[in-house]
Structure 1
Amino acid sequence: MSPTTSLAPLPRFQTIAIFGKHMAGGTAQSLLQIAECLVTTGRRVLFESETVQNFSITGFESMSLREIGETADAAIIVGGDGTMLGIARQLAPFDVPLIGVNQGRLGFMTDVSLDRMMPMLQEMLNGSAVSEHRTLLDGVIMREGSIMNHTLALNDVVLSRGSGSGMIELHVEVDGNFMYNQRSDGLIVATPTGSTAYSLSAGGPILQPSVKGFAMVPIAPHALSNRPIVVPDSSEIMIEVMGGREANINFDMQSVARLQHNDRIIIRRSEHVVTFLHPQGWNYYDTLREKLHWNEYPSVEGRLK
């Protein structure tokens, strides 16, 4: 059991918020099934106002995301990991535990399947669940001494070159110590949660969620000696844009800004965390095997080739 994971019995959750991914087939039916089942157990059900509008849901309380953060004991998100990312980042300041119901294949963050949804949710909301805390990044964009943007990221902060432009040049410091100057297509700063996202595709390491570190992963660096590195999550990372015709920054691939030369990006561990609730028996390595197909063995013929 990791330091960020709790197997102790949890309190029974009474006020439950429900979110759904728009334009996903079958979502409305799943949302109503969950809501109606929870009502029969005497729970108070809240729907996020945008979900109500998108699915024309009636007969239930509707609240803004902020109101839900101030009211709900837990939130159920029906969708995929992308849906979870946006909601988790916004609810993090309110410390509302999150349960992810995946409509397709198992997700890294949405691990309750539709076919077992109702019995699992009942058990989890009655306190039989694994509680896990995930670290967030706090990112600030500085321009000429002023804050241009300030936001959170659960997965990663990514600096990248614009489409059609050449490499960008970055100056990187950690805790005020010069690390390197880098020419590359970009740089990823990833949390353990984000280590299985873009960072993994760029050759970064997988960080088990309880690891207290951030991965810094160059994207197609000019110098092959620029390798991924893991720094303590207590670090302050400063990235300055030194050159290149066009550079962008995004937070969890959902919030994008255009950067200028000499812009500075300051990245720290956020004071907030995201709490995920998983079914009893859940563990991270099962998820890795499922998502990364580690349980599949090559054929004898394949191994001999």
Structure 2
Amino acid sequence: MLAVAECLERNGCQVAMEFRAAEMTGLNSRYPSLEMVEIGEQCDLAVVVGGDGTMLGAARTLAPAKVPLIGINQGRLGFITDIPLGRICEALPPMLRGAYIEDHRSMMLGQVKRGESTVFEALAFNDIVINRGSTAGMVELRIEVDGHFVSNQRADGLIVSTSTGSTAYSLSAGGPLLHPSVAGWVMVPIAPHTLSNRPIVLNDSSEITIEVVSGRKASANFDTQSLSSLQPGDRIVVRRSEHEALFLHPQGWNYFDTLREKLHWNSGSN
């Protein structure tokens, strides 16, 4: 964290730190500390140090403020935090001078409706997941897209993923990879009882409504934000958010290079 801050300072930046990160690293006496919302209000750029989960939280908060994000990978995978910690002094200076690639990513707005009331609402950058209860059997879900009935599914759950989230839980459940430039979502059943229930790619302008028909202690997860104990009759409504996240990558960055490295694909030969 200190190395990143010092690199930014050497390149003419005024540095502030997120409040909790400054406290944890003991750097709150050296740099001003701000809450994440204040970073959105006061800063021109956010440099996120951590793994993809850290970036998810920052993107959800800062996207409405249109603050661009640069990801420094200190986690395991790094699909969206793509600059290795050891390359910050090499990668950051050209980007601060304007040599970067812009990468716009869409987000989802999810609402849980109970009768006429909205009991939970959150942005999701990766996915919205409905899960069965930890000790219960399958959950039964009724799915509509743009008001058209699709199916009733009995499964361990259902994932609605953005193209960014297609490399996360959706991929583990058998969903396809979507290039980030594709304006689409993936709807993936989790261990469906009927094997003909397969993943489907939808236009991200669609509105998806998922009703809990039966299933005890089912939960809805919006990235890392959760609402537990869904009730039969609850409806999870998913639509595209008006906000999008803006990532900045070093020049030369390529999405396929990221996939090849992180998924350990055979690189072949030129």
What range is the shorter-chain TM-score in?
A: over 0.9
State the shift of 1:62 in Å. 1.3
Report what 1:147 is aligned to: 118
> For the residues of structure 1 that align with 2:83 and 2:49, how far apart are their CA atoms?
9
1:17-74 CA distance string (max 9 Å, x none): xxxxxxxxxxxxxx11221232233211111111111212122111111111011111
Relative to structure 1, is the Cα distance of residues 248 and 283 closer, same or farther in structure 2, using a 3 angstrom cutoff? same
- Please provide the CA RMSD for this pair: 1.2
The alignment status of 1:239 with 2:184, answered yes or no, reads no
Matches within 5 A, 1:117-136: 117-136=88-107
| Aligned: 1:75 with 2:63 | no
Alpha carbons 1:106, 1:113 under 8 Å: kept: no
Hey, what does 2:171 align to over in structure 1? 200
| Structure 1 segments (4+ residues) deviating >4 Å | none
Q: CA 1:106/1:173 → structure 2, altered by over 3 Å: closer, same or farther? A: closer
Q: Which residue of 2 aligns with 1:45?
A: 15
Q: Which amino acid aligns with 2:72?
A: V
Q: Which sits farther off after the overlay, 150-159 or 244-253?
A: 244-253
Kept in 2, the 8 Å contact 1:168–1:246? The answer is no
Contact 1:238 1:265 in 2 (8 A): yes
Q: State the partner residue of 1:210.
A: 181
1:87 Cα deviation after fit: 1.2
- Using the alignment, how far apart are the partners of 1:167 and 1:42 within structure 2? 56
Q: What is residue 111 of structure 1 aligned with on the other side?
A: 82
In structure 2, which of residues 258, 263, 268 is the aligned counterpart of residue 292 of structure 1? 263
Q: Which residue of 2 aligns with 1:34?
A: 4
Deviation at 1:106, TM superposition (A): 5.2
Q: Distance in 2 between matches of 1:53 and 1:210?
A: 37
Q: Residues 104 and 152 from structure 1, CA distance in 2 versus in 1: closer, same or farther, beyond 3 angstroms?
A: closer
Alpha-carbon deviations, 1:154-206, whole Å to 9, x = none?
Answer: 00000010112100000000000000011000000000000010000100010
**Superposed CA offset, 1:184-230 (max 9, x none):** 00000000000010000100010000111110000011111111101
Alignment TM-score, normalising by the size of structure 2: 0.96
Aligned pair count reads 267
Q: Partner letter of residue 243 of structure 2?
A: H
1:115-147 residue CA offsets vs partner (Å, 9 max, x unmatched): 211120111111101110001010000012101
* Runs (5+) with no aligned partner, structure 1: 1-30, 298-305
TM value normalised by structure 1? 0.85
